[in-house]
Structure 1
Amino acid sequence: MEKETRSAIERATQKARSILENDFAEQLAGDYDVMVDGQVAENPGAHLGGHQKALRARIVASVQHKRMTGMAPKDAVADYLRDAAFTTLNRFVALKMLEARSLVQECITKGEASSGFVNEYLAFAPGAKFPDGSGYKIYLESIFDELSTEVKVLFDRRDPAAALWPRKATFEELLAILNAPDLREVWSEDETIGWVYQYFNSGDERRKMREASQAPRNSRELAIRNQFFTPSYVVQFLSDNTLGRIWYEMRKGDTKLAEVCKYMVRGYGESFADAGQPYADEDNVVPHRLQKDPRDLRIIDPACGSGHFLLYCFRLLLTIYQETWDDSDGAPSEATGNSLREDYPDSERFRRAIPSLILRHNLHGVDIDPRCAQIAQLALWMRAQRAYLDLEIRRENRPIIRRSNIVIAEPMPGDSVLVDEFASSLTPPILGRLFKEIVDQMTLAGEMGALLQIERQLAFSIHRAREAYVLQQERQGQGYLPGFAPERRQSELDLSGIDDDTFFEQAEEKIFTSLKIFVADAVNGIGARRRLFADDAEQGIALIDIARKRFDVVLMNPPFGAGSLQAKSAFEKAYPVTKHDILTAFIERGIQLSQPRSRVGAITSRTPFFLSTYELWRKDVLEKAPPVVFADLGAGVLDSAMVETAAFCLEVV
């Protein structure tokens, strides 16, 4: 995307943020008695109706929830304002992008004159056009409700960040900004949503943070300081030489990716060893790589931002899936024990399944910024819809996509009362104790993100919980004659002969089920608190789930410089060799999350490769995963970042 176009997106994003935050601040103070200085009235005003009181309860619950994480009252209200403005802007940016892809009818490009509102909505409800715009609002909310069945994180109206709606003048100004002529061409570009994410926080805001503290003081500052969108050619270079190259070697060069991956580095006259065949590097023979079912290829971006790497990998995976299905002797999947063709013998059914299979099995992302979940999930969903279009799958025949593996790294619930209440509701009680241990271990998740080695920290807790439950079952079965022991109730875990991994999977499923019940049973106005609690708990469990997996491909544009001050001690203890710069710790962590012959691709500052400060990193970490591709790119690559960069790929020994 050209700099002039990016500048237009930046101006529009900053202006939209300003008008939305000003409008919402006035609404909070004037309507809901929530002040920007952090003061919140104990009770709703008498001027509020029943619906407005319910909205206020969600807003207040969100502000209190933020305070539970340690925010000052003023900061909690400011953070809610940012969330509300960002969510609102993203929703209407999404509608513009969905219009451009014909995934929704024209709904905001011409405001209330948009064809979807005039020809579809008003045709059925001709009296629904009102001077105050309330009929148009109901129409747009109906679109949000429909989209929320698949992109819940952005369009769910129960989200406290969606409680506020811009007033008429602000709303019209917002639409004028998005419908400006200089933005007409950007809405069909996949990367537009990523630029909106980057430009939501201004350069002045980043500069003030650096002036106030050399190191990030918290997770928000760490995220904002490192929001640098990765250029497409860098994404392609790294993905081509990781995922593309792995598949190329599995297929011994017989793949369309040889043409698609234009940045893939190949040796002149290279050949491929068969299984068990000895090889020598000087003969330019590539070691044998066992072919996998594509459902077993796992890719992760541990600092995923708007999901740029994952979007490009989606494109490569479409080819990988099709080539596998075309082979009659594909490798069996670890998940099903069958080949892709055996699980999907019908071509039409297979084509309908491809996009959802990619999102369910292959692509994973983690970030410390909650806003990334909105952006990355939306971007991947839109990419899946484009794939359906290319595959000629009609809208009514497309399966609903409800799952993506984008995870927010944040502390587990900070509300100790709800933690105790939920833990005590879990059965058997061993699960309640395990849940509380998980909450304790996740305290620094928001500061460390994917760097938190939670799978190591919890390994003993999970093992101990499994052994305790097995012992409890054995004791309950003692004292009965053969055949007279009580049958296991449906709600109990079946742990006969299972390992720690399977135990955690069963425990995880039971916790998720119990969270849904915990929210559904909420009464007396605490539903909003419980829903926020459950959302945080689900994200925490999902982060643990990802950390326990091992990946074939790790791709990233990691943060660089100092880590968060709040996690300094824990960070240095976990990464004694790579503690000098958070980027080198991310490379070490990428290797930890990999398996033998996996590839790690990253764009980082080039300084760790020659400064003496990083000598131990070069000796220790890079011996475990030596570079196989290296491009010294220099300055001017990461937009406004004042850093000389290198893009490189490592292969884990």
Structure 2
Amino acid sequence: MNQEERNALRGAVQLWRRTLENDIEEQIGALYGIRRPTGATAGKGKKAAGDSDPLAELVVLAVADVPRVAQSRRLQERRRIILTAIEDSARRRMASAGEKFDSGQVKPLVLDFEAYLRACAFTVLNRLAGIKLLEARGHYLPSLTGSEDAPAAKFFRSVAGPSLPAGEDPYMLFVDLLMADVSTQVPSLRDASGRYDLVKPDKASVLALGESMEALGEVVWKSDETLGWIYQYFTPEELRKRVRKESPTPRSSDELAFRNQFFTPQYVVRFLVQNTLGRMWLEMHADTHLADTWEFLVRDETTPRPFKDPRNLRVIDPACGSGHFLLYAFEVLHDIYSEVYEHAELGQGLRAEFPDRYEFFARLPELIIERNLYGVDIDRRVAQVTQVALYLKALGYDRKARPMRGNIVHAQQLPGNAAEFGAFVAAEFTDHPRREFIQQALSHVHKEFLHADELGIMLKTSDTIEQLTRRTPLWNETQLLPDVLAALDAYAEHAADAGEVRAFMFGDDSRQALRLLELMSLEYDVVLMNPPFGAAARDSKGTFEKLYPRTKNDLYAAFVERGLNLLVPRGRLGCLSSRTGFFLKSFTKWREEILLGEGHLEVVADLGYGVLDKAMVEVAAYVVEKQ
């Protein structure tokens, strides 16, 4: 996309967000009796969401005063789920502000309600955007294009017309079914918690969004970058300004995430991938023809390295955002696999596993996503965006590609308490010889991952966990961690079937937390990143400074230190960050002990201003090889 197309998308995303937030807010107020104080409602034709006093206390009517809720247990349960989500937002806000509160007596404010509305709007928008992206790739018939006259919508009416429920709008039923289907096609679009899809957009909103999406043109919807830009443009500018005014440093994982939402331009992505993964492949296979296609590869003398089967190459982005490094790494890996498969000598291993050439290329997208690409982010939404983007990338190579779990992890705390760990272990490991050890290990991980939601892969396994796993090898030798992960899947599935929301959330969130531990235990050939910069979030600052005493003055410096730690010997790190570390005195240890001590600085591109969208920061892109 060019700048004009990105500007059009920016304006459209802001309009879509406001449209959906206002629509959902109006419905929640009318149906569930949850609203802003009188005079501060943001419904259609009134103030835009966020214009009212964010510190005003939210109005929650008694159930008896909301007739439809009072008469329906189903609506009472839905209202309870909505209020729980809003109250959880209030607890996180109060905890990040250092406020003391009684966990049972939380009074949500308007800004907590706004956070819930944003989450609901983002859930709906992601699904509608997913439909448009699948349309553009030929995976769906035109469904939103043309609104009610879209070919798929007309076909649905012709087939389902006689059996449609009385009073049901055919087009809205079609859209509901389509959003459910896209969540099945792309599992990361599901709202696993069930909190954010309880209120559906009305017909006017869907028609308006469909028309606006169509107006952006085909280029936008065929681009791999679109979901990433939607994510970056979604956070309201007034929220960014308010948060920066209230605190110069991030107070929570949410603030840390959106303060650092800066898209990496494609030329920087290509420069860093070609000079890390690309150069490694050139050193393994000097006769490769691929180097001729890499326009940003710095062409100097190379040091040969032993060939490595591409199935064993690992590439990670430890702050993956919407996955732009991984998307281009996918392309380069696809080219490498293809070259290896056709090579008489190097391709013997691949051809032994995939003797049928057609089957190999059909399976290749799945192979790359499940074997080669890894990513971590502290923002659940953006981790979902990366998963969707990788699936769409796979569809571009094979239209029959199935949804894949992949290795994109949302970093979060291990939820639960001793009682919940006990219930899980009792249910899934009844007769297991290491039952007691598993419960003990989960308790230790729970303690050590207290700040995982703010530090992500910057955490390191502590001596406590290392000693525990040495005493009873947990993760690698006995394959117990995969067993625990599989058991958490089963536990969450059983809880969902039984309608046990808390148990489901424990199982689902625990699996994500332990996947982070799994990724931390691996070594990688390539680390690629555009890490956050500035100060660590307030709650985790003490832990961060203990873990990174040499690089604690800025997050990006510590990310480089951690990235080198994750690499195999002679592995390569490619980074886009502020250029200040290359000359400020406060970064002396970073330069001398990290870049030139633990690593070898290979390539530096001093890019200056104007690289990171609206961020007023001078940046550099550089490659470091681990000693």
Global fold match (TM > 0.5)? yes
Q: Which of the numbers 574, 582, 606 marks the counterpart of 2:555?
A: 582
Q: Name the amino acid aligned to 2:385.
A: I
Alignment of 1:83 with 2:119, yes or no, is: yes
CA distance in 2, matches of 1:189, 1:515: 33
Partner of 1:501: 475
Counterpart of 1:350 (choices 353, 360, 363) is 360
1:472 paired residue number: none
Residue of structure 2 in register with 1:99 after alignment: 135
CA deviation digits over 1:133-189, x for unaligned, max 9?
Answer: 64323323333343334421214587422222112232333223323x344531111
Which residue, 434, 437, 455 being the options, matches 1:448?
455
Task: Determine the C-alpha separation between the residues in 1 that align with 2:6 and 2:601.
Answer: 33
Q: Please, which moves more after superposition, 145-154 or 640-649?
A: 145-154
Of the structure 1 ranges 79-88 and 137-146, higher mean CA displacement relative to structure 2 is found in 137-146
Cα deviation digits, residues 83-116 of structure 1 (max 9, x gap): 1111111111121111111111111111121101
Match of 1:142 among 170, 174, 177: 177
Structure 1 match to 2:397: 387
Candidates 303, 323, 337, aligned match of 2:319: 303
Q: Is the 8 A contact 1:424 1:432 kept in 2?
A: no
**Secondary structure of the corresponding residue to residue 127 of structure 1:** helix
Query: Residue 502 of structure 1: CA displacement?
Result: 2.2
- Note the 1:279-318 alignment, pairs <5 A: 286-318=302-334
Closer/same/farther in 2, CA of residues 605 and 456 from structure 1, 3 Å limit: farther
| Distance verdict in 2 for CA 1:431–1:349, change over 3 Å | same
C-alpha displacement of 1:421:
3.3
1:59 aligns with 2:82: yes
2:291 to 255, 258, 274: 258
Please tell me whether the aligned partners of residues 8 and 183 of structure 1 are also in contact (alpha carbons under 8 angstroms): no
Equivalent-residue separation in structure 2 for 1:87 and 1:256 (angstroms): 43
Judged with a 3 Å threshold, the aligned counterparts in structure 2 of structure 1 residues 14 and 192 are, in CA distance, closer, same or farther, namely same
Q: What's the counterpart of residue 154 of structure 1?
A: 189
> What SS is found at the alignment partner of 1:91?
helix
SS of the counterpart of 2:336? helix
Question: Aligned pair in 2 of structure 1 residues 559, 156: CA closer, same or farther (>3 Å)?
Answer: closer
CA contact (8 A) 2:524 2:568 kept: yes
Question: Structure 2 CA distance, aligned partners of 1:361 and 1:591?
Answer: 21
- Contact kept, 8 Å, 1:462 with 1:504, in 2: the verdict is no
Q: CA 1:325 to 1:38, structure 2 compared with 1: closer, same or farther past 3 Å?
A: farther
* AA in 2 matched with 1:110: G
Tell me, in whole angstroms, the C-alpha distance in 2 between the residues paired with 1:101 and 1:132. 34
Check the 8 A contact 2:321/2:377 in 1, yes or no.
yes
Residues 123-134 of structure 1 aligned to structure 2 (within 5 Å): 123-127=158-162, 134=169
Q: Do structure 1's residue 534 and structure 2's residue 536 form an aligned pair?
A: no
Corresponding residue for 1:410? Answer: 412
Structure 1 pair 39/512, CA: closer, same or farther in 2 (3 Å)?
Answer: farther
**Which amino acid is 1:306 matched to?**
S
Matching residue of 2:18: 18
Partner residue of 1:597 out of 556, 559, 570: 570
Say whether residues 1:640 and 2:614 are aligned partners.
yes
Task: In structure 2, give the amino acid aligned to 1:59.
Answer: I
* Cα distance per residue 1:566-594 (max 9 Å; x no partner): 11100100000000000100100101111
RMSD across aligned C-alpha pairs, in angstroms? 2.6
> How many angstroms does 1:27 deviate by?
2.4
Letter in 2 for 1:237: F
Counterpart amino acid of 1:300? Answer: I
After superposing on structure 2, the runs of 4+ consecutive aligned residues of structure 1 that deviate more than 6 Å are 41-44, 128-133
1:224-243 aligned within 5 A = 224-243=258-277
Task: Tell me which of 327, 331, 340 is aligned to 2:350.
Answer: 340
Unaligned runs of 5+ in 1: 271-285, 333-338, 390-394, 467-498
Per the normalisation by structure 1, the TM-score is 0.84
Picking from 332, 337, 342, the partner of 1:321 is 337
Query: What is the one-letter code of the residue matched to 2:323?
Result: G
With the length of structure 2 as denominator, give the TM-score of the two structures.
Answer: 0.87
Letter in 2 for 1:90: N
Q: CA deviation at 1:341?
A: 1.3
**Amino acid of the residue matched to residue 136 of structure 2?**
A
State the Cα distance separating 1:213 from its structure 2 match.
1.0
Distance 1:547 1:14, change over 3 A: same
Q: CA deviation at 1:504?
A: 6.5
Q: Which residue number in structure 1 is paired with residue 382 of structure 2?
A: 372
Is residue 135 of structure 2 the alignment partner of residue 114 of structure 1? no
Q: What residue in structure 2 maps to residue 330 of structure 1?
A: 346
Contact 1:344-1:350 within 8 A present in 2 as well? yes
Instruction: Judge which range, 286-295 or 590-599, deviates more.
Output: 286-295
Residues 1:461 and 1:362: Cα distance change in structure 2 (over 3 Å): same
Which of the numbers 165, 170, 176 marks the counterpart of 2:205?
170
1:27–1:68 distance in 2 versus 1, CA, 3 Å: same
Distance 2:293 2:84 in 1: 49
Separation (CA, whole Å) in 2 of partners of 1:426 and 1:234: 47
Contact 1:591 1:600 in 2 (8 A): yes
Work out whether 1:543 is the aligned partner of 2:516: yes
Change (3 A) 1:77 1:401: same
Residue 128 of structure 1, CA deviation: 6.2
Distance in structure 2 (CA, Å) of the matches to 1:317 and 1:524: 42
Change (3 A) 1:507 1:315: closer
Match of 1:539, SS state, is: helix
The alignment-based identity, stated in percent, is 37
Contact persistence 1:305–1:367 (CA under 8 A) = yes
For residue 422 of structure 1, what is the aligned residue in structure 2?
Answer: 424
Taking a change above 3 Å as real, the CA distance of residues 24 and 461 of structure 1, as seen in their structure-2 partners, is: farther
C-alpha displacement at 1:411, in angstroms?
1.4
1:261 offset after TM fit, Å? 1.4
User: Which residue of the partner structure matches residue 279 of structure 1?
Assistant: none
53-62 or 548-557, larger mean C-alpha shift: 53-62
Aligned partner of 1:563 in structure 2 is 536
Q: Which region of structure 1 is more displaced relative to structure 2, 309-318 or 197-206?
A: 197-206
3-state SS, counterpart of residue 553 of structure 1: strand
State the AA in 1 paired with 2:337.
Answer: Y
* Residue aligned with 2:546, SS: helix
User: What count of residue pairs does the alignment treat as equivalent?
Assistant: 585
3-state secondary structure, aligned to 1:649? strand
